[in-house]
Amino acid sequence: MPQASSLAAPTIVLDAEAWRAREQAHAERADALTVGHRARAARGERHPIEDFLFTYYAYSPSLLRRWHPGPGVELADAAGTPRADWRWYAAGPTPGSLLVDHEAMQREKAPLLRAVERMLRLTASRPGQFGCFGLHEWAMVYRQREHRHPVPLRLGQDATDAVVEAHELRCTHIDAFRFFTPDAVPRNRFAPTRELQPELEQPGCLHAGMDVYKWAVKLGPLVPGELLLDAYELARDIRYLDMQASPYDMAPWGGEPVRIETPEGKAEYVRRQRMFAEHGNALRARILEAWLGPAVG
């Protein structure tokens, strides 16, 4: 049984029926979101779009299934449940209740939490850049005969290289840039590094939008479960555009091409990129408010 902590009084008290219903609804939603991945994993199959998030971030479906109420929510009659043994939970002010031990996590994970907060706030504070057209995936195969994904190139190698050479590369995200081929690296306007990531991250970047999911996972019980699944769904949807706009032929996996080598494809890419940027910033704001409370001023 967790010991009571010097926590601020909860702002919401959920009776057992209410929080168990939310927990069950969350588990069912998580199962529906991961059913395809789990079935393919059991068969030893891979979907290059839908399974990517589980390998790139290495977060399991079981992690998505675990519901947290977020800080400031007291769960009545929860002390006798398995949740009592979960890390970062403490006894609430009402006998038999539990709540997220926000203060303990803030103390023990201070460097990580400061870094996540800084990344979320700085990214959201900048104007989005919408001139990259998803060419980071093209730069990962530029003048390269062996590719990361065992999928044919839609235009072939020579025509793919020609698309790269006809455009300026403008990638700002280190976890895309680090996979550029050696010949593509000097063609990029920016030179992203891990140290520069807080200074370069911007909401128009598809990978920064997918990373909202990563930051939500790292915050653990400080993020309500429903919000975590919202971030996962955004990352999944972004991944579809990422690969639809890539040089790979994704049509067999439901990824009809967004032909960014054409004016029409560029317009479609930017339209969806702007939508994802707005959605990503809304999620960043919701995560910060759930975790730290409403912004002041």
Q: Is a pLDDT exceeding 80 seen at residue 6? A: no
Instruction: Give the closest residue to 226 by CA, choosing from 288, 287, 152, 150.
Output: 287
- Which two three-digit tokens encode residue 259? 């032909």
Report strand pairing: 89-91 vs 73-75.
unpaired
Query: What's the rounded mean pLDDT across residues 217-236?
Result: 97
Among residues 75, 91, 108, which one ends one of the domains? 108
Sheet holding 89-91, edge to edge: 12-14, 73-75, 98-100, 89-91
pLDDT, tens digit (0-9, with 9 covering 90-100), for 127-142: 999 999 999 999 999 9
Q: Are residues 102 and 202 in the same domain?
A: no
Q: Are residues 138 and 229 in the same domain?
A: yes
| Residue 24 is assigned to a structural domain of this protein | yes
Buried-state track 88-120, b at ≥16 Cβ within 10 A, e below 16: bbbbbebeebbbbbbebbeeebeeebeebbebb
Q: Are residues 100 and 167 in the same domain?
A: no
Q: Are residues 87 and 178 in the same domain?
A: no
Q: Are residues 78 and 177 in the same domain?
A: no
Mean pLDDT score across all residues of the chain: 93
**In percent, how much of the chain has pLDDT > 70?**
96
> Per mean pLDDT, which range of 2-16, 130-144, 209-223, 260-274 is the poorest?
2-16
Q: Are residues 142 and 44 in the same domain?
A: no
Instruction: Give the closest residue to 235 by CA, choosing from 35, 45, 38, 33.
Output: 33
| Residue 104 is assigned to a structural domain of this protein | yes
pLDDT, residue 295, reads 64
CA distance 13 to 10: 7
pLDDT, residue 296, reads 45
Q: Are residues 104 and 121 in the same domain?
A: no
Q: Are residues 200 and 235 in the same domain?
A: yes
Q: Are residues 155 and 282 in the same domain?
A: yes
Q: Are residues 180 and 272 in the same domain?
A: yes
| Residue 4 is assigned to a structural domain of this protein | no
| Residue 97 is assigned to a structural domain of this protein | yes
| Residue 5 is assigned to a structural domain of this protein | no
Q: 34: exposed, middle or buried (C-beta count within 10 Å: 0-12, 13-18, 19+)?
A: buried
pLDDT, tens digit (0-9, with 9 covering 90-100), for 90-118: 999 999 999 999 999 999 999 999 999 99
Q: Is a pLDDT exceeding 90 seen at residue 147? A: no
Residue 61 near residue 30 (C-beta atoms within 8 A): yes
pLDDT, tens digit (0-9, with 9 covering 90-100), for 27-59: 999 999 999 999 999 999 999 899 999 999 989
User: Domain range holding 182?
Assistant: 111-292
Tell me the pLDDT band of 192, cut-offs 50, 70 and 90: very high
Q: Is a pLDDT exceeding 90 seen at residue 247? A: yes
| Residue 44 is assigned to a structural domain of this protein | yes
| Residue 16 is assigned to a structural domain of this protein | yes
Q: Is a pLDDT exceeding 60 seen at residue 20? A: yes
Q: Is a pLDDT exceeding 50 seen at residue 209? A: yes
Among residues 88, 108, 128, which one ends one of the domains? 108
Beta pairing partners, 98: 75, 91
pLDDT, residue 143, reads 95
What's the predicted TM-score (pTM) here? 0.93
pLDDT, residue 297, reads 39
Q: Are residues 30 and 134 in the same domain?
A: no
Among residues 108, 134, 149, which one ends one of the domains? 108
Domain count, the chain: 2
| Residue 1 is assigned to a structural domain of this protein | no
Q: Is a pLDDT exceeding 90 seen at residue 150? A: no
**In percent, how much of the chain has pLDDT > 90?**
88
Q: Are residues 122 and 254 in the same domain?
A: yes
Beta pairing partners, 14: 75
Query: What's the rounded mean pLDDT across residues 184-188?
Result: 98
Q: Which residue has the higher pLDDT, 172 or 1?
A: 172
